[in-house]
Amino acid sequence: MGSFKNQQNGNVIAAAKAGIVCLYGVFDNQLRNFTEMAGYRDYLRECAAIVVRETIPIVYLAGGHTNPKSNFSEAKSVERYFRDHLARNKPENQIKIELEERSVNTPQNIHFSLTRIRLEYPHLREVHIFTDRCRKLKGMALAHHLCFGFRHTVHGVPRIDTHPNSVWWKQAIQAFCYYFFFENILRDIDREKRR
């Protein structure tokens, strides 16, 4: 693996891969119930462990402003917790964390992060996408269409959640629609931008 220079800030990054961690709402005890917070913590801890194990030097935390009760984006709300878990396994200055704060759904998480990766780290050729386990098929369908020019791996990480959309069969139907009907991806990428 060769090193290359980040065009924006001149940092030298010695690797050719990045991670995209898809987030699931604002990380806040006041806005989520106990079960959701426990599941979210487990998800972030496991994502951090995989980042260290796979030696991924750049991680995009992907999630925008989805809750009007919070001033924080999803990405900003999890940043400290995620950094703390990276630091337990590896000095955090060896892993660069970027915040992708525009996205409000999974297609946007991946699309907006990939757009930034292409601009900020044009020499990257491999991307690891992190979704929760029930959304892994959807992540794979999205990666199939959006990750052109990249080798990609989709990690389905366990997460307990009580949201009615967090069931495998709903996500499998959406994955099928994304895989076979690309216009559904484009619709969902564009949907929230018009608000």
- pLDDT tens digits along 140-153: 999 999 999 999 99
Single out the residue of 111, 123, 117 nearest to residue 1, CA to CA.
123
User: How far apart, in whole angstroms, are the C-alpha atoms of residue 32 and residue 154?
Assistant: 26
Q: Residue 194's pLDDT is what?
A: 46
- Give the amino acid at 65: H
Q: Residue 165's pLDDT is what?
A: 81
Q: Residue 192's pLDDT is what?
A: 59
Can you read off the two tokens belonging to residue 73? 């984006």
The yes-or-no verdict on residue 115 having pLDDT over 60 is yes
pLDDT in tens, 73-82: 999 999 999 9
- In a 13 Å sphere around the CA of 27, the CA atoms on its Cβ side amount to 21
Single out the residue of 176, 162, 21 nearest to residue 103, CA to CA.
21
Q: What is the pTM of this model?
A: 0.88
The yes-or-no verdict on residue 2 having pLDDT over 70 is no
Can you read off the two tokens belonging to residue 67? 């809750």
- R_g (Cα) of the chain, nearest Å: 16
Mean pLDDT of the chain: 89
Q: Residue 182's pLDDT is what?
A: 87
The yes-or-no verdict on residue 135 having pLDDT over 90 is yes
Residue ranges and CATH numbers for the domains of the chain are 14-194 (3.40.50)
The yes-or-no verdict on residue 185 having pLDDT over 70 is yes
